[in-house]
Structures are given as C-alpha cells and as structure tokens.
Amino acid sequence: QQPVQSPQAVILREGEDAVINCSSSKALYSVHWYRQKHGEAPVFLMILLKGGEQKGHEKISASFNEKKQQSSLYLTASQLSYSGTYFCGTPGEYGNDYKLSFGAGTTVTVRA
C-alpha cells in the first residue's frame, strides 16, 4: 500500500528549513528516500532502518519511528540545489523487500 506524504509542496527561501513527512498504514522496518529533479532520474538519498536512527546526506537528515509507522525528512539551511520532488519508498514484506511502494511526492522549491 502506498505511503502518504505531506505536505504536497513547499516553497522555501535559501537558508530556511523544512520537514517532509511520510506515513504508512502497514508495519515498516525500513524507509527509503529519493529526490527527483524535473526530467531526471530519481536519486537515492538514504535508507532508514528500524531503531529510530537518524541518517544524513549533506544537510538533509531523516528519522524513522517504526512504532508510529512514519519517517520525516529534514531539510536544514536549504540550498538552491535542494529543489526537486522528494519521494519516500516503503518496502514489501520480508522476502519482498525489493518491492518499493512510493508516495506521491513532495515538491520542494528553494528560491534565492
């Protein structure tokens, strides 16, 4: 089942922060995050695993709360290069964990 992302879109000025949320109706043991710029391939950012650990990529970090079945992506001190659509992906059951279900995406626009 497809995870739900919020907000659908966010507009930031350079240097501002933003949070993107991803929630699932099913139990999760990991969450994947990707960013896609217009007309380009989605690019892997990070995988969050069980344990509530946070990971980071540049000044982009994320958390994962498996009890609440949700993950959040934090864009800190945003840069122009952060613009794009962010997707969370949740894997299938054990044995089908290759099968990612992606949310509809959150479009981030960073302005100078």
Partner 1 sequence: GAGVSQSPRYKVAKRGQDVALRCDPISGHVSLFWYQQALGQGPEFLTYFQNEAQLDKSGLPSDRFFAERPEGSVSTLKIQRTQQEDSAVYLCASSYGTGGNEQFFGPGTRLTVL
Q: Please, what's the b/e burial string for 76-97 (b: 16 or more CB within 10 A of its CB; e: otherwise)?
A: bebeeebbbbbbbbbbeeeeee
- State in angstroms the smallest separation of the CB of 12 from partner 1: 20
69 binds partner 1 (CB under 8 A): no
Binding segment for partner 1 among 52-60, 63-71, 72-80, 87-95 (CB under 8 A)?
87-95
105 binds partner 1 (CB under 8 A): yes
Q: Which of 18, 24, 42, 75 binds partner 1 (CB under 8 A)?
A: 42
47 binds partner 1 (CB under 8 A): yes
| 42 upstream amide cis, omega within 30 of 0 | no
Those residues with Cβ within 8 angstroms of residue 109's Cβ, 6 or more apart along the chain or in another chain: 9, 10, 11, 12, 83
Q: Which of 53, 97, 109, 111 binds partner 1 (CB under 8 A)?
A: 97
Which CB atom, from 84 or from 89, has the smaller least distance to partner 1? 89
3-class SS of residue 82: helix
